[in-house]
Structure 1
Amino acid sequence: MELKLQQIMSEEYRVLNALYESLLEQNKYLLSREVFSLDRIVKVIEAKSKDVANLEIERRKITKDRSMREVIKEFKDKELENSYNTIVELLDKLKFQKDTNEMLIKQSLGFTNQMLRAINPGVGAKTYNAFGKSR
């Protein structure tokens, strides 16, 4: 069981690292506004996310839905603990990069909406909300 768990965790680390690289690539495309490359990388990110989910399901079957900290304490294996810690660090980097990319996308969409409103203004009278933005 311990060997199988270590294999799954090393495979999970490999896939998570590839997902992180894909998110960095997505960030590069967001900054350079390469729309067609963004479309391609989204499909890659979705495929890698499915791979991570499948590995997570396998890991949960082995650990019987117990927490990884509990399993690591039970085995008292330093290699397993190191693998777990590196995966946790990588997950933190993944979350930060995902949040950064989402913020860039929202910012870009906000700018696009403002430009569309400027190009095609409404015919009704403008009203302003409490923040001074027009509706």
Structure 2
Amino acid sequence: MSLELKGIMEKEYSVLQELFKVLVDQNHYLLKRDAFKLDSVVKSLEEKSKTVALLEIKRRKLTSKRPMREIIAEEKDESMKILYDNIVEILGKIRFQRDTNDALIKQGLVFTNQMLRAIAPRNNTSAGTYNSLGKSR
């Protein structure tokens, strides 16, 4: 079990590194507002996410859904512990990058909605007003 688990963890780590790279690329395209390249990133993100999910399912079947910390402590294999720590670290980076990208996407949507409201014809003839938060009504 140990060798098979280690093999799955190594594959998962390499796919997670690729996923992180794709998220960094997505961030660059979001900052540049390059819609066509963002479309290709979405396909790559879906692909990498599916691969990670399949590897996770294999790992859970192999470990009988036991926590990885327990298994790593029992194995006493230093290289497996280092690999596990690397996976945890890259997952933290992925989570942070994903949250950053989500914030950029939301910010872009808010800006677009404000621009659309500003140029859309209004039924009333009164001038636009702003509320206490600085948003137009």
TM-score, structure 1 normalization = 0.94
Whole-angstrom CA distance in 2 between matches of 1:72 and 1:83: 10
Whole-angstrom CA distance in 1 between matches of 2:49 and 2:116: 34
* Superposition deviation, residue 134 in structure 1: 3.2
Please state if 1:117 is matched with 2:124.
Answer: no
Question: Residue 133 of structure 1: SS of its match in structure 2?
Answer: coil
Question: Which position in structure 1 is the counterpart of 2:17?
Answer: 17
Whole-angstrom CA distance in 1 between matches of 2:40 and 2:133: 38
Matches within 5 A, 1:1-135: 1-124=1-124, 131-135=133-137
Q: Per-residue displacement from partner, 1:52-82 (whole Å, max 9, x unpaired)?
A: 0000000001110000000011111111111
* Superposition deviation, residue 4 in structure 1: 0.2
Structure 1 vs Structure 2: percent identity of aligned residues? Answer: 56
> Greater shift after overlay, 122-131 or 74-83?
122-131
2:35 alignment partner AA: V
TM-score, structure 2 normalization = 0.92
2:45 alignment partner AA: I
1:61 alignment partner AA: K
Unaligned stretches of 5+ residues in structure 1:
none
Whole-angstrom CA distance in 2 between matches of 1:132 and 1:93: 34
Unaligned stretches of 5+ residues in structure 2:
none
Alignment size in residue pairs = 135
Question: Residue 136 of structure 2: SS of its match in structure 1?
Answer: coil
1:133 alignment partner AA: K
